[in-house]
Amino acid sequence: MNNYSLIKSLTTTELIVKRIGFLHPTYELTDGQYNYGILRNEGTFKPRVFIETGEDSWLITGNGWRNTDIKNIEGETIGYTSTEFWSQKITFTANDGFTATFVKPSFWKSISVWQATDGSEILSIRARAFNTPVITFTAQFKQNRWILMLAFLALEIHLKRQMHAVAAAT
C-alpha cells in the first residue's frame, strides 16, 4: 500500500480523476489536496484492472462475456459484477450481501449513477468534454466500506465505454 489517504478523512463529496501517463495511463482519485487511490490496467492478452487504495488493493478480471470477478490481493473473491444480456445495467454484488446497480438515468445527459437496492443514489460519475470525469457521492454513503470500490468501478466502466465508442467511430 502506498501513502493514500483514507476516504473517511475526505471533507468534500466530489473527487476528481487525474490521468497520469500517456500510452499506459494510471488514473488517480483526488480531491485536489489528497490522493485516495489509483487504477491501472495490466496485461495485453488477458487484461485486468489493478486498484490500490489506502486500505485495500483489488484485482478485477473478466469472467465470461460481460461479467467480472473482483479479488483482493491474496486472491480471494470479494465480489463480482454482472450484466443481463440486453441490459445496460451493471450489478455489483459483494460477498457480504451489499448490492448496487450502475445505471444511466438519461440518454441525453453524461451522468451515470450507482444506486442502492432501495433506489437511492450512492455516487455519480459525470463525463466532461476534453477533460477527465468527476465523481460525486452522497454524504450518507461516505462511511460505506464499498464507496471507493464503486468509484473505481464507475471509472473503469466509463473508460471502457469511452474506448468502445472510439473504436466504433473509426
Q: Which band of pLDDT confidence, cut at 50, 70 and 90, is reported for residue 81?
A: very high
Summarised one tens digit per residue, pLDDT across range 93-129 is 999 999 999 998 888 888 999 999 998 899 999 988 7
Report the percent of the chain where pLDDT is more than 70.
Answer: 99
The per-residue pLDDT for 141 is 82
The per-residue pLDDT for 143 is 78
Q: Which residue has the higher pLDDT, 99 or 84?
A: 99
The per-residue pLDDT for 5 is 85
| Under 8 Å between Cβ of 159 and 166 | no
Domain ranges of the chain: 7-169
- In terms of DSSP bridges, do strands 14-20 and 134-137 run parallel, antiparallel, or are they unpaired? antiparallel
> What is the overall mean pLDDT for the chain?
88
Summarised one tens digit per residue, pLDDT across range 16-42 is 999 999 888 899 999 888 999 999 998
Which residue in the block uniquely carries the three cell numbers 473473491? 77
Contacts of 115 (CB under 8 A, 6+ apart): 100, 101, 102, 103, 121, 122
Give the separation between CA 5 and CA 78, rounded to whole angstroms.
22
The per-residue pLDDT for 38 is 94
State the burial class of residue 22 (Cβ atoms within 10 Å of its Cβ: 0-12, 13-18, 19+). exposed
The per-residue pLDDT for 127 is 87
